[in-house]
């Protein structure tokens, strides 16, 4: 039994049908939680060490690393039943949309730091850290995740297109029979 099935089994019956309809969203959320920890770990590892004067650069690198993990998990688990594109085309779209998503993830941190000046020497180190976490890890995550959820479902992993109805029997070309090879 998968982690999502375990969670779904614990949801009260009236809400279980709703949860089943949103199974992809739940899986996307689990992938998001995993990549949140990857993103946060890398962001703070870089921000508190070698890239301390460049928090936005730290954020961009962290999001890019988390995005690579996210592609594999979303392709193989969250959106496994969707698609229909060639893998290279799908991956290209995924990373282009994720590149746009990096802007959505990083913009709140940039605004917090450089427009609102929530950084030392204008404020205390504690306020700076709280502002960085709130802007970069909460607001940026929510805005970027909403954009990516919408864009992935629309362009990267679209629902299978229903097949066109076939032509009426008189308009169909005769099928050629092939001899077994």
In the predicted model, is pLDDT for residue 64 greater than 90?
no
| Of the candidate ranges 37-41, 70-74, 112-116, 171-175, the one whose mean pLDDT is the lowest | 171-175
Q: What is the pLDDT of residue 50?
A: 93
pLDDT of residue 7: 66
- Expressed in percent and rounded to 5, the helix, strand and coil fractions of the chain are 70, 0, 30
- Confidence grade of residue 18 (pLDDT, cut at 50, 70, 90): low
Q: How confident is the model at residue 16 (pLDDT cuts 50, 70, 90)?
A: low
* Long-range CB contact pairs, 21-30, < 8 A, 24+: 24/78, 24/79, 24/82, 24/153, 25/149, 27/77, 27/78, 28/74, 28/78, 28/79, 28/149, 28/152, 30/3, 30/4, 30/78
Percentage, residues of the chain above pLDDT 90: 20
Nearest C-alpha neighbor of 85 from the set 179, 165, 157: 157
Instruction: Return the SS3 of 124.
Output: coil
Calculate mean pLDDT across residues 12-20: 65
Residue range 111-131: mean pLDDT, rounded: 89
**What pLDDT is attached to residue 139?**
93
End-to-end CA, the chain = 43
Average pLDDT, the chain: 79
Residue that wins the pLDDT comparison between 49 and 90? 49
Residue 138: pLDDT above 60?
Answer: yes
- Inform me whether the pLDDT recorded for 181 exceeds 60: no
The pLDDT of residue 165 is 47
């Amino acid at each position: 039994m998968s982690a999502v099935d375990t969670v779904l089994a614990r949801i009260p019956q009236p809400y279980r049908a709703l949860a089943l309809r949103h199974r992809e969203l739940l899986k996307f959320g689990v992938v998001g939680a995993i990549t949140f920890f990857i993103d946060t770990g890398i962001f703070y590892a870089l921000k508190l060490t070698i890239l301390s004067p460049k928090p936005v650069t730290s954020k961009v690198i962290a999001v890019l690393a988390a995005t690579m993990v996210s592609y594999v998990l979303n392709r193989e688990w969250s959106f496994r039943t969707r698609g229909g594109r060639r893998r290279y085309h799908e991956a290209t779209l995924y990373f282009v949309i994720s590149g746009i998503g990096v802007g959505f993830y990083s913009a709140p941190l940039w605004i917090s730091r450089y427009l609102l000046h929530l950084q030392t020497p204008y404020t205390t180190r504690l306020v700076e850290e709280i502002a960085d976490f709130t802007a970069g890890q909460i607001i940026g995550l929510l805005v970027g995740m909403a954009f990516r959820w919408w864009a992935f479902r629309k362009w990267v992993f679209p629902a299978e297109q229903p097949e066109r109805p076939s032509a009426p029997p008189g308009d169909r070309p005769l099928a050629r029979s092939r001899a077994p090879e």
